[in-house]
Amino acid sequence: MMMKLLAIACLLVILQPFPALAQNQTEDRLWGLYKEGRFEDVVREGKVELTTGTPSAQINLAVGRSLVDLEKYGEGLPYLEQAVRGDPEQTWVYAWAQCYLGTGQYRLGNFQKARAALIKGRDCAATVNATRFAVSSLRILGLAESYDAWAIFSTKHFAFHYSDNLKGFDGVTYARRHEEAYALISAWFAGGPAAPIRFFVWKDKDEALVANMPPLGFARPELNLVHARAEQTVGHEMTHVISHHAMHPEHVTGLINEGIAVYHDQTGRDQMALAREALADAPELAIQVELAALWEDWSLMAVDVSYPVGGAWVKVLIDKGGKEKFLEFFRDQRLANAREVYGSDLQGWMDEFTTALYQ
Residue 340 predicted with pLDDT over 90: yes
The alpha carbons of the chain give a radius of gyration, in whole angstroms, of: 26
Q: CA-CA distance, 359 to 354, in Å (whole number)?
A: 8
**Mean pLDDT value of segment 298-310:** 90
12 found inside a domain: no
pLDDT in tens, 238-279: 999 999 999 999 999 999 999 999 999 999 999 889 888 888
177 found inside a domain: yes
Q: Is residue 239 domain-shared with residue 264, that is, in the same domain?
A: no
Domain boundary among 244, 266, 286: 244
For residues 171 and 10, the model is more confident at 171
**Mean pLDDT value of segment 22-30:** 81
Q: Is residue 168 domain-shared with residue 135, that is, in the same domain?
A: no
Residue 12 predicted with pLDDT over 60: no
97 found inside a domain: yes
326 found inside a domain: yes
The set of residues, in sequence order, having a beta carbon less than 8 Å from that of 10 and lying 6+ positions away, is none
**Mean pLDDT value of segment 8-37:** 68
Residue 78 predicted with pLDDT over 80: yes
**Mean pLDDT value of segment 317-344:** 97
Domain boundary among 113, 129, 144: 144
Q: Is residue 35 domain-shared with residue 50, that is, in the same domain?
A: yes
Q: What pLDDT sits at residue 16?
A: 47
Q: Is residue 35 domain-shared with residue 105, that is, in the same domain?
A: yes
Q: Is residue 223 domain-shared with residue 317, that is, in the same domain?
A: no
Answer for the pair 261, 235: CB distance below 8 angstroms, yes or no. Answer: yes
* Segments forming the whole domain that contains residue 195: 149-244
Q: Is residue 38 domain-shared with residue 136, that is, in the same domain?
A: yes
9 found inside a domain: no
Q: CA-CA distance, 162 to 153, in Å (whole number)?
A: 8
Q: Is residue 229 domain-shared with residue 288, that is, in the same domain?
A: no
Q: Is residue 324 domain-shared with residue 347, that is, in the same domain?
A: yes
Question: What is the tally of structural domains in the chain?
Answer: 3
Q: What pLDDT sits at residue 284?
A: 64
Q: Is residue 324 domain-shared with residue 227, that is, in the same domain?
A: no
**Mean pLDDT value of segment 100-128:** 97
Q: CA-CA distance, 180 to 164, in Å (whole number)?
A: 25
Q: What share of the chain is helix, strand, coil (3-state, %, to 5)?
A: 65, 5, 25
Q: Is residue 50 domain-shared with residue 168, that is, in the same domain?
A: no
* Residue 152 pLDDT grade (very low, low, confident, very high; cuts 50, 70, 90): very high
Q: Is residue 78 domain-shared with residue 157, that is, in the same domain?
A: no
119 found inside a domain: yes
Residue 4 predicted with pLDDT over 80: no
Q: What pLDDT sits at residue 302?
A: 85
* Residue 218 pLDDT grade (very low, low, confident, very high; cuts 50, 70, 90): very high
**Mean pLDDT value of segment 59-72:** 97
- CATH code for position 99: 1.25.40.10
For residues 284 and 3, the model is more confident at 284
Q: Is residue 272 domain-shared with residue 326, that is, in the same domain?
A: yes
Give the mean pLDDT of the chain: 92
pTM of the model: 0.89
Domain boundary among 198, 215, 244: 244
Range name among 110-114, 136-140, 232-236, 285-289 with the lowest pLDDT average: 285-289
Residue 8 predicted with pLDDT over 60: no
* Residue 13 pLDDT grade (very low, low, confident, very high; cuts 50, 70, 90): very low
pLDDT in tens, 190-205: 999 999 999 999 999 9
Q: CA-CA distance, 332 to 329, in Å (whole number)?
A: 6
Range name among 19-33, 165-179, 243-257, 284-298 with the lowest pLDDT average: 19-33
Q: What pLDDT sits at residue 171?
A: 97
**Mean pLDDT value of segment 81-93:** 97
**Mean pLDDT value of segment 116-137:** 98
- 53, with CB counted inside 10 A (0-12, 13-18, 19+), is middle
For residues 305 and 109, the model is more confident at 109
Q: CA-CA distance, 307 to 312, in Å (whole number)?
A: 9
* Residue 9 pLDDT grade (very low, low, confident, very high; cuts 50, 70, 90): very low
Q: CA-CA distance, 22 to 24, in Å (whole number)?
A: 5
Residue 336 predicted with pLDDT over 90: yes
